[in-house]
Amino acid sequence: MEGSQYPKGDFRAPLPIIGPGHSFRSITNKLTSVVLTKNTPKAWFAVMAIGFVLLNGLMIAITYLLFKGIGIWGTNIPVGWAFPIINFVWWIGIGHAGTLISAILLLFKQDWRTSINRFAEAMTLFAVVCAAIFPVIHTGRPWLAAYWLFPYPNAMTIWPNFRSPLIWDVFAVSTYGSVSALFWFIGLIPDMATFRDTAEHPLLKKMYGVLSLGWRGSARHWERYEHAYLLLAGLSTPLVLSVHTVVSFDFAVGIVPGWHATIFPPYFVAGAIYDGFAMVLTLAIPLRAMYGLRDFITDRHIENMAKVMLATGLVVVYGYSCEAFFGWYSGNEFERFMLKNRMYFGPMAWSYWVLILCNFLVPQIMWSKRLRRKTWAVFTAAMFVNVGMWLERFVIIVTSLHRDFLPSSWEMYYPTKWDFITLFGTVGLFLTLMFLFVRVLPLISIFEMRTLVTDKPAAAPQVEGH
Amino acid sequence: MTLDDIRTKLNGLEGRAYWRSLEELSGTPDFQQYLHQEFPANAAEFTDPAGRRQFLKLMGASLALAGVSACTRQPPEKLVPYVTQPEEIIPGRPLFYATSMPIGGVGMPLLAENHMGRPTKLEGNPEHPASLGATDVLAQASVLNLYDPDRSRNILNLGNEATWPTLTAALQTALAPLRSAGGAGFRILTEPISSPTVIDQMETLMTASPQVKWHQWDPVYGTVQGGAPDAQAIYHLDKADVVVSLDADFLGFGPTAIRNTKDFSSRRRMGTPTDALNRLYVVEPSLTLTGANADHRLTIKARDVYGFATALASALGVAGVPAAPAVSDDAGRWIPVLVDDLRAHHGRAVVVAGDHQPAAVHALARAINDAIGGTGTTVVYAAPVVATPRDGIASLRELVTDMNAGAVQLLLIVGTNPVFTAPADLDFLTALKKVPLRIHLGQQDDETGDECQWHVPEAHYLESWGDVRAFDGTVSLIQPLIEPLYGGHSFLEVLASINGVGGQSTQDLVKGYWTKAFNGQTKTKWTLQDREGRPFPTVDAFWRQALYDGFLASTSLLTGAVPTPAAPATPLSLTPPPAMTGLEIIFQPDPYILDGRNANNGWLQETPKPLSKVTWDAIAYVSPRTAERFGVMSFQRSGNGDLPLVEIQYRGRKAKMAIWPLPGTADDVVVVHFGYGRTRAGRVGTKVGQNLFTLRTSAAPWFDGGVELHETGEKYLIVSTQNHFAMEGRAPVRVVEAEEFAKNAKAVAELGAERPGPEVSLYKPFEYNGHKWGMAIDLNACTGCNACITACVAENNISVVGKDQVERTREMHWIRIDTYYEGDPSKPDGVYHQPVPCQQCEDAPCEVVCPVGATVHSDEGLNDMVYNRCVGTRYCSNNCPYKVRRFNFLLYSDFTTPELMAQRNPDVTIRSRGVMEKCTYCVQRINHARIDSKVQNRPIKDGEIKTACQQVCPADAIVFGDLNDPASRVVALKAQERNYGLLEETGTRPRTSYLAKVRNRNPALS
Amino acid sequence: MADQPTAPLYGLVAEFDSAPELLDAAREVTRAGYRKTDAFSPFPIHGLADALDFHDRRLSLIVLLGGICGLLFGYSLEYYTQVISFPENIGGRPYHAWVAFIPPAFETTILFGAFTAGITMLVLNGLPSPYHPVFNAPRFRFASQDKFFLAIEAADPKFNEAETRAFLTGLHAREVVAVEE
Amino acid sequence: MSQIFPRSANATARLTIAGALGFVILLGWVVWTLMFSSWVTKQNEVVEQPVPFSHKHHVSGVGLDCRYCHTSVENSEFAGIPPTKTCMNCHSQIWTNAPMLEPVRASLRDNKNLTWIRVNDLPDFVYFSHEIHVHQGVGCATCHGRVDQMALTYQAAPLLMGWCLDCHRAPEKYLRPRDQVFNMAYEAPANQIELGLRLKKEYGVADVRHMTSCSICHR
């Protein structure tokens, strides 16, 4: 894609997290121009178009679904869950990277996070939106599920069943969604002020003025602001871990061989971050090219993310080996058969090996510093991981269900065209939201970038509190 | 158009009139439009089955469409009381009437449940020797035929509506000239008939005009190859220690199967491990249910059964047996063993010859039974109950010859559908067209009706008066439960009008005949006594009792005296069947569709065929080895999919059929099923599957050699409800050998992983102090006949989903029968059946995961499923290790066909789109029994509550009861060493448990 | 713009070029005894609040309380619905299946905590306040870009326009302007 | 720099937020009250019938017993709606040509069903049995109200699931002696709870676990 920013041959050189020679002004201008500019890049329109077409697919699919019933999908009796839940878990997982970057890396004082956390958070938000669609539409009677899943006093004096992991999901996902949104908006406030003050058009001024809540950068405000931001980060961290833990409970709590495993929570969380970083890369690399942001999203960022991806990827692979080991070591005939069926003679064994290729073999190229610094290589690896993590859920859900306890009920699963339209439809929704965001809001946190400016007399103050 | 318009249009109309006008109404465009806008959208709402049920409860037609539109406010619902209420009716309570279903001329005794004038469910008549309370799939499903919306509704003359008077007039005018010629040229073609009243009427007719000829044709029951046996065998299998079947499916097929199963299984149910079992040897060309239940099974071609029989007979020293042709090595090993076993059980053994085998084999079997002292104890021979002519083929051939010769002026065809079912070589249609006047009386305006100038809708047996004899001779009465829905007429009615007694009602005719019989004025002399064998004081007393019982107890050949038929000629003089060569073809009726008469019955289409579990299609069974030649490697499939179509060439005729490798089928044998491929069956059955009658000939209607199979390269989608038939080293069905079990009582327990005790749970188990419902299923008794499935469908308003949904494995049956094969597929070592309803686990995995609490435990330990709370996450089904939960992926319940709605059981909610459903242990029956017991201040008696599957089961394999009642049968069964829980190692603590299968093999053969 | 404000005076606003200058100025102003002061910067500056002698740690405590409320709400909701309101035998689990009750209670804890944090922050900061006198400072829009401002309110007891202006200019302010209410 | 917003904007902003919150709460309240409102439950709504039949007249006035018309109330889930015949038992003698009764006479004359509108209409996935309730000492009036006072019949109770459960959870609050079940004027004694508990025991009314099991009412 692009030439490396490093002197040839020298891979030891410390990498900057912001291009040289940047001032407050230059950062401000650069980042505000992305939104306030008159001329939008052609690429933006291209992506938007694709996203929009897919989104319409989603709308049609859902309408038809509501009219006909979920029988339009391939789900059947041994395989009661398939695409919808796979997609749900996949999207939720993707969301995790955002929170991780903005919260956990913040706590770890990783200042390179600043230039990616904003759109990573946006990604979280939109991924959760996509994910949240599925638990509702995958039910037989969505118009009831939409509110019966919440505990509210009613004329029947009946309540949801709090023993069910699905109810845990409802709480986890809705909390995750709203807290992410809050975190994201709080982060936006100071930049909204910047927009308010740099925009020319009076209407824009007013619009951003409203969003900025009248922020004026007062020292007192900054004081409480950073304090609150830190607390939010502190709360989001256990939250993000809990969310995918709860999602993994959907399976771990079941008795289905291939679901009923104690490794699931850590293994799912790692998987989520793995996939999340892959998605961040998938977005960051084209975006920085599209808007020429290589000074802010530097190769250092790409490389760091590649490293995180590699690390979490290995955790996930450890998860696979644990699953295999547990299955074998349990000596339980059902577990053992599940493994053989999944890896060896089952009609869907192919999916397992493709998964291994995508999630285990390909990402290993990230060991090489040279490749880590080749954007195209990282991008390719990220793409493989995106696919691989989807397949992982396919393997867990479908191949476990289609052959469980009684051989008499063993059957096959085949998705229908509606399954695919819905899946790619949500991708469309995601792209649409993401690129609308890029167009109207700062995709990189401006005020935090300012703290990185190093060519000033005073040392750049840290974002963290005291 | 709105609901109210429709209501006003239908208001006050009842029964026939109502259906008629709704029919007309539903034709109108705005009604169509109404349905369109109202139903698809709102059908999903639950307020909907609502409307259904009230309508059903109050038979107010207008209610059929009430409560459709879904909103927070319930739409107004109407109550339509009687004008004058019949005394016997208590609104909301069902009534039961005894009646009988004629099939193949033989009666199937029934009790019909009647809800406010609508028969909804049929049970066996517990008092009747031919039923003892059980029924079969066909009887269960026959109630749906009554409501079949595609039954013909009008008398048609050349396609135009006509009336009964015009018909009778036309008939008389046509008959007048013939009568003068003594009736020559007037032919009547019926199904086999045993009805004394009808026979009496026929005799009256034929004495009046002796030239009238009566033909009988039934491709299933009335067809024999190589002559009909001169006497009918009635078995007492409860008295037999050793049973040998010569290609006889006496447990699986035909009206005798119910009583046979009752008797047979009574010798398979064990108390203690040391109890003696009977032993069943089966010799057959292809696996049947009987074969599946055999202790020893020998696979030989159908043509070789005669050879085997002769060999066995001569080995037993029967006089005058012709020289036995050489038998296979296996057979060779069998003969001596059989001889020993039969001799060892002299007087307690029986040999059963198959209905499809020639008269010679029957004669041999009878001779053997004489030799081993079976005759008179384990089997009695009696004059057949069905009126002559019993050789349908011969009778039909004669008719065709005469028709071709132009000797037939007027042909009255009753019930049967020869245009579709007649042997191909007779070319019935061409002959038929030569008959000047053709009248067809049938429930459907079928292929034959289409070829006749007159078509008369025939009344369903639940709509008409009549009588019929059960296989054991018991005279059983047929009384109507409802006015003819579509204005049908019975054969008796037609016959009466021919005989000029049309003025009398059929009821009078039946009663009249039996009054005469009571006074001994009939040709056949009947012994009419009450159950205690005392004569009735008056004819009224007799008639009242007869109607109440539904049958005349003293006429049974099983209980009453048996008229000894002509003793067989000694020494035996046999006409050996012609030798056959080459690949063998065996014709079988489809077990449920039969000759196609049930093609429009969705329940039967969707009931999995025994052993293969195929639905919605006819298939050709071949041995797995033969199948390999056509690329079907294994009899296991990972899922539903295409199977190769082969071309069957036979006597210059061709047909295509998909082949299914059925373990236990002899190599080089192809078993084809006829009955599919109807062209005028109705919305369900038209153009479904391949028609095999095109191959069947009068020379060899059941089996023949010289057939060729050719690959076509084409594929055909066959769907089945089970695709994996091996147990994979797991033990869902636990099987032990009788010998081993007698030695080691723990043998069954040792077969499974150990059952986790209460200590494995974190929590202390719930206590069940009131009732504690449980079920035990005896796998040793179960024959896998599927009756429970159909009974469950009828009782619980289970929807039919159709072939494409079954392909996606979305069938809705609440109870299924799993079948597993053991050993080499081409020569299975064992075939096991396992009925699997909801196990009602105490620690139910499904309940924990339901987010809305739509499935929870009742205080009596039922795993309640609350449809109206369910949002359909399907999590419960995923977490159910037994996969017994069923989901309404689409709108499966029919909310638009009032005829079908009328059949529904008002005590069970009709499930709508998007909700999960499953077996409830027939909770509606439990609740009714509980309420009755409370109102009558008495405890619920053991056996008072029977689940639908239990009630129908001819093998009494299913027992339901209160686990807190130490005296209950279910407790006793669960105390047995054979008792085990399915997948109990998963800690679900199922309330349903199974009694292991015990096989009584002969050491000399194993 | 005019040095002589027409409307009542809000205070004087001094502009600085860099964070350190602002920091020093703030220290001086505080040392000089001004209390009704405020500093404005395009990004958080370490120590600026101290320099203005501003300390407020109430947030943590409030958030803690919010979290505790969330926990209590979540668990009592579960206890009420599953044990008191409609106890049901679900899969043989006890009515009070505390193990299963943990995840939702945890989530409500986070939810309440997080929103308390966000909302409290805004409330304490008196946001939203789209209108504020300091916006009247002509170059104030740069406060959200690359300039740094220091304000002394007229309400301050020590405030005297002339002296204060002189004082501020003495702190190398790039420019000092009077801002009206 | 000039202000973007007027002074009033601060107040406006805060009011807007408060207003939004208020609106959400209001909305919730509306839905909540609607859920229980008689508009949804149809409680106390008089429905128009083909014949303006007055229970007041027939029960209080003429003094008919409930069971004279609702014949199957004691031995079927369905209480039964009288066939036209029942009406005509008397009305063939009295009011023989009251125009009000023409539909009834017409019904008998041309054998055409009368069509009444259901007043107490449960959702149809609910299986209610009059038989058992009457037998266990639940008075007609307990659910149907003082029908004997109703000139035109209406639904006296909300018939919501919560309402059913109220009694299923604590029947003692409502039980009365069997011989009082059809007594419309029956007044609960001061010691109702005590009496209720005694009757509960005597009539073998099941415990709350049983009475709140789903399959008791839903199948």
**pLDDT over threshold 50, residue B828:** yes
Angle at A448 between CA A447 and CA A450, to 5 degrees: 65
Determine, for residues C91 and B846 on separate chains, whether the beta-carbon distance falls below 8 Å: yes
CA distance B55 to B832: 43
Q: Which residue has the higher pLDDT, B325 or B458?
A: B458
Whole-number pLDDT of residue A295:
86
pTM of the entire structure? 0.91
Chain length of chain C: 181
Q: How far apart are CA A242 and CA B796, in angstroms?
A: 43
DSSP state of A15: P
CB C125 within 8 A of CB A221: yes
User: Angle at Cα B311 formed by Cα B310 and Cα B316, nearest 5°?
Assistant: 95
Token output for D175: 């039980």
CB of B147 within 8 A of CB of B899?
Answer: yes
How do C148-153 and C9-16 pair as beta strands? Answer: antiparallel
Could you say which residues from 239 to 298 on chain A have a Cβ atom under 8 Å away from some Cβ of chain C? Answer: 239, 242, 246, 249
Residues of C whose CB is below 8 A from B764: 94
Query: What confidence tens digit (pLDDT) does each residue in B112-158 have?
Result: 999 888 899 999 999 999 999 999 999 999 999 999 999 999 999 99
For residue B53, give both structure tokens.
Answer: 């049920």
Q: Indicate the residue type of B433.
A: K
Between chains, do A76 and B850 touch, taking CB under 8 Å as contact?
A: no
**Closest chain C residue to B844, measured at CA:** C91
Q: Please tell me which chains touch C, using 3 or more CB pairs under 8 Å as the contact test.
A: A, B, D
Range 134-153 of A in CB contact (< 8 A) with C:
151
User: CA nearest D202 in B: which residue?
Assistant: B937
Average pLDDT over residues A152-173: 93
Instruction: Tell me how far apart the alpha carbons of residues B12 and B18 are, in angstroms, rounded to a whole number.
Output: 8
Spans in chain D with pLDDT lower than 50:
none
Of D121, D209, D214, the CB nearest to B74: D121
CA distances from B395 to A319, A453, B254 (A): 75, 107, 22
Contact B848 C89 (CB under 8 A): no
Mutate to test the interface with A, among B875, B888, B912, B983 (most CBs of A within 10 A): B875
Least confident segment among A293-307, A452-466, B650-664: A452-466
CA–CA min distance B70, chain A (Å)? 12
Q: Are C51 and C30 in contact (CB under 8 A)?
A: yes
Residue A179's pLDDT band, with cuts at 50, 70 and 90, is: very high
CB contact under 8 A, B761 and C94: no
- Cα dihedral sign for A231, A232, A233, A235? positive
CB contact under 8 A, C86 and D1: no
Give CA torsion, residues A388, A390, A396, A401, to 10 deg.
-130
Determine the Cα–Cα distance for residues A188 and A210; give it in Å rounded to an integer: 12
Give mean pLDDT, residues B542-555.
90
Contact D132/B49, CB-based, under 8 Å?
Answer: no
User: Which residues of D fall within a CB distance of 8 Å from B47?
Assistant: 123-124
Name which of C65, C85, C93, C121 to mutate to probe chain A: the one with the most chain A Cβ atoms within 10 A of its Cβ: C121
Alpha helices of B587-644 — where are they, by DSSP H? 602-606, 624-628
C-alpha distances out from residue A182 to A121, C32, C103, C119, Å? 10, 40, 21, 10
- Chain B contacts of A347, Cβ < 8 Å? 638-639
Q: Which residue of B has its CA nearest to A138?
A: B873
Distances B793 to B143, B488, B594, B922 between C-alpha atoms, Å: 11, 26, 19, 11
Do the beta carbons of residue B883 and residue B898 sit within 8 Å? no
In this prediction, residues B922-936 reach a mean pLDDT of 94
| B859–D contact, CB cutoff 8 A | yes
pLDDT class of B571 with cuts at 50, 70, 90: low
Q: Residue B817's closest CA among B636, B607, B588?
A: B607
Q: B771: burial class by Cβ within 10 Å (0-12, 13-18, 19+)? A: buried
Q: Which residues pair with B778 in a beta bridge?
A: B995
The length of chain D in residues reads 219
| Confidence (pLDDT) at B759 | 75
Please check the confidence at residue B742 and state whether its pLDDT lies above 60.
Answer: yes
Residue B469: pLDDT over 80: yes
Residue C6 pLDDT class (50, 70, 90 cuts): low
Model confidence at C125, pLDDT cuts 50, 70, 90, reads very high
pLDDT at residue A108, as a whole number: 86
Neighbours of B169 (CB within 10 A): 12
Q: Residue B574: its pLDDT value, please?
A: 79
For all residues of chain C together, what is the average pLDDT? 91
Section C37-65 average pLDDT: 91
Task: Give the pLDDT confidence score for residue D112 in this predicted structure.
Answer: 86
Q: CB burial class (10 A; 0-12, 13-18, 19+) of residue D174? A: middle
pLDDT of amino acid A325: 92
What's the gap in Å between the CA of B759 and the closest CA on chain C?
14
Q: What is the mean pLDDT of residues B748-759?
A: 82
Q: Name the more confident of B70 and B960.
A: B960
Cis peptide before B389 (omega within 30 of 0): yes
- Asked whether the CA dihedral B834, B108, B614, B152 is positive or negative, the reply is negative
Burial tier of B328 (Cβ tally within 10 Å: 0-12, 13-18, 19+):
middle
Calpha distance B650→A375 (Å, rounded) = 71
pLDDT at B893 over 70: yes
What are the pLDDT digits (tens) for A98-140?
Answer: 888 888 888 888 888 888 888 899 999 999 999 999 999 999 9
Q: Is B913 an 8 Å CB contact of chain A? A: yes
**Would an 8 Å CB–CB cutoff place B72 in contact with chain D?**
yes
Q: How many interface pairs between B and C have CB atoms less than 8 angstroms apart?
A: 37
How would residue C172 be classed by pLDDT, with cut points 50, 70 and 90? confident
The confidence score (pLDDT) of residue B565 equals 59
Contacts of B844 in chain C (CB under 8 A): 91-92
Instruction: Report, as an integer, the average pLDDT of B506-521.
Output: 92
Please give the average per-residue pLDDT across B636-640, as a whole number.
Answer: 83
Which of A450-459, B766-775, D210-219 bottoms out in mean pLDDT, i.e. has the lowest?
Answer: A450-459
Which chains are adjacent to chain B, needing at least 3 Cβ pairs under 8 Å? A, C, D
Number of inter-chain CB pairs under 8 A, B vs D:
161
CA atoms in the 13 A half-sphere facing the CB of B537: 2
Mutate to test the interface with C, among B762, B859, B863, B866 (most CBs of C within 10 A): B762
State yes or no: pLDDT of C98 exceeds 70.
Answer: yes
Phi, psi of B543 (to 5 degrees): -70, -40
Whether residue A15 is predicted with pLDDT greater than 80 in this model: the reply is: no
Picking from C89, C131, C136, the nearest residue to D9 by CB comes out as: C131
Taking CB atoms and an 8 Å limit, are D1 and C138 in contact across chains?
yes
Question: Under 8 Å CB-to-CB from B388, ≥6 apart: which residues?
Answer: none
Distance from C-alpha of A71 to C-alpha of A418, rounded to nearest angstrom: 10
Contact A218 C86 (CB under 8 A): no
The CA distance from C99 to B455, in Å, is 71
- Check whether A459 has a pLDDT greater than 70: no
Paired tokens of B427:
């070319």
| Interface chains of chain A (3 or more CB pairs under 8 Å) | B, C, D
Please determine, for residue B55, whether its predicted confidence score (pLDDT) is greater than 50.
no
Q: Does B79 touch chain D (CB under 8 A)?
A: yes
* Three-class SS state of C151: strand
Radius of gyration of chain A (CA): 23
Q: What whole-number percentage of chain B has pLDDT above 70?
A: 91
The residue type of B284 is: E
Mutation target to probe the B interface, by most B beta carbons within 10 A, among A67, A409, A414, A418 is: A409
pLDDT at residue B741, as a whole number: 93
Strands (E), B623-764: 641-650, 653-661, 669-674, 703-704, 707-720, 735-737
pLDDT score for B4: 53
Residues in chain B: 1006
B232-264: pLDDT as tens digits: 899 999 999 999 999 999 999 988 999 999 999
Query: Are A171 and C107 contacting, i.e. CB atoms less than 8 angstroms apart?
Result: yes
- Place B897 in a pLDDT band, splitting at 50, 70 and 90: confident
Instruction: From chain D, pick out residues whose CB is under 8 angstroms from the CB of B770.
Output: 206, 210
- Exposure string for B371-407, b = 16+ CB within 10 A, e = fewer: bbbbbebbbbbbebbbbebbbbbebbbebbebbeeee
ipTM of the complex: 0.92
Q: What is the mean pLDDT of residues A41-51?
A: 93
Q: Do A67 and B725 touch (CB under 8 A)?
A: no
Class of residue B724 by CB neighbours under 10 A (exposed 0-12, middle 13-18, buried 19+): buried
